[in-house]
Structure 1
Amino acid sequence: MSDNWGRWGADDERGAANLLTPDVVLAAVSSVRQGRVLPLAQPISGSTSGPGAGRVPHLAGRPLPQHFMSVDGGDYAAGARRLQGEIGLSDDALVLSPHGTTTHIDALAHMWRGDALYNGHPADRVRSYGATRCGIDKLGPLVARGVLLDVAAHRGIPHLPADTLVDAALLAEVAGAAEVEPRAGDVVLVRTGWPQVFRGEPARYQDAQPGLDGSGARWLVERDVVAIGSDNAAVGALDPGCTFHGTLDEDVHLLTLWRAGVTLIEMMGLEELSAAVAEGGRADFLFVAAPLPIEGGTASPLTPLAVL
Structure 2
Amino acid sequence: MKEAWKRWGDEDERGALNLIGQDEVRRAVSLVRSGEVVSLAQPLSSKTPGPKHRCGLQHFMNRDGGDYAAGGRRPGGFQFSEDSVVMPLHIGTHIDALCHAWYDDELYNGFAGNTIRSTTGAARLGVDKMPPIVTRGVLLDFVKLTGQPLAPTHSITRSELVEATAAADVDIARGDAVLIRTGWLESQNGRADVSFDEEPGIDVEAALWLAQQDVALIGADNYAIEVLPFTQGHVFPVHQRLIRDYGIPLLEGLSLAALASRGRSTFLLMASALPIVGATGSPLAPTAVL
TM range (shorter): over 0.9
**Partners of 2:219 and 2:138 in 1: how far apart?**
10
The letter for the 2-side match of 1:218 is L
Alignment correspondent of 2:112: 122
The letter for the 1-side match of 2:265 is A
Given that 1:197 and 1:204 are in contact with CA atoms closer than 8 Å, whether structure 2 keeps it comes out as no
Alignment correspondent of 1:91: 82
Alignment correspondent of 1:188: 178
Alignment correspondent of 1:23: 23
Alignment correspondent of 1:64: 56
Alignment correspondent of 1:232: 222
Unpaired segments ≥5 residues, structure 1: 47-52
Shift of 1:167: 1.2
> Residue 145 in 1 paired to residue 136 in 2?
yes
User: What is the SS of the residue equivalent to 2:18?
Assistant: helix
Change in CA separation of 1:74 and 1:120 when aligned onto 2, cut-off 3 Å: farther
Given that 1:213 and 1:245 are in contact with CA atoms closer than 8 Å, whether structure 2 keeps it comes out as no
After superposition, residues 1-308 of structure 1 pair within 5 angstroms as 3-46=3-46, 53=47, 56-73=48-65, 80-81=73-74, 86-99=77-90, 101-128=91-118, 129-157=120-148, 159-203=149-193, 205-239=195-229, 244-245=230-231, 248=234, 251-277=237-263, 282-308=264-290
The letter for the 1-side match of 2:271 is A
The letter for the 2-side match of 1:287 is L
Shift of 1:12: 0.5
Shift of 1:148: 0.3
**Partners of 1:290 and 1:169 in 2: how far apart?**
31
Change in CA separation of 1:36 and 1:261 when aligned onto 2, cut-off 3 Å: same
* Matched residues, number: 288
User: What is the SS of the residue equivalent to 2:124?
Assistant: coil
The letter for the 2-side match of 1:34 is S
| TM superposition score normalised by structure 2 | 0.93
**Partners of 2:64 and 2:52 in 1: how far apart?**
29
Given that 1:142 and 1:288 are in contact with CA atoms closer than 8 Å, whether structure 2 keeps it comes out as yes
Shift of 1:68: 1.6
**Partners of 1:75 and 1:98 in 2: how far apart?**
30
Given that 1:75 and 1:92 are in contact with CA atoms closer than 8 Å, whether structure 2 keeps it comes out as no
Shift of 1:45: 1.1
**Partners of 1:198 and 1:226 in 2: how far apart?**
28
The letter for the 1-side match of 2:186 is Q
* Deviation per residue, 1:73-128 (Å, 9 max, x gap): 2679996326x8x33201000111022x3211000000111121000011110111
**Partners of 1:107 and 1:177 in 2: how far apart?**
31
* Deviation per residue, 1:218-238 (Å, 9 max, x gap): 111010000000110001111
User: What is the SS of the residue equivalent to 2:73?
Assistant: helix
Change in CA separation of 1:64 and 1:9 when aligned onto 2, cut-off 3 Å: same
* Deviation per residue, 1:202-261 (Å, 9 max, x gap): 43533211011101101110100000001100011111xxxx456549811011100000
Change in CA separation of 1:70 and 1:247 when aligned onto 2, cut-off 3 Å: same
Given that 2:49 and 2:194 are in contact with CA atoms closer than 8 Å, whether structure 1 keeps it comes out as no
Q: Cα RMSD (Å) of the superposition?
A: 2.2
User: What is the SS of the residue equivalent to 1:258?
Assistant: helix
The letter for the 2-side match of 1:63 is C
Sequence identity (%): 44
Shift of 1:57: 3.4
**Partners of 1:245 and 1:74 in 2: how far apart?**
54
Change in CA separation of 1:41 and 1:75 when aligned onto 2, cut-off 3 Å: farther
Given that 1:135 and 1:298 are in contact with CA atoms closer than 8 Å, whether structure 2 keeps it comes out as yes
| TM superposition score normalised by structure 1 | 0.88
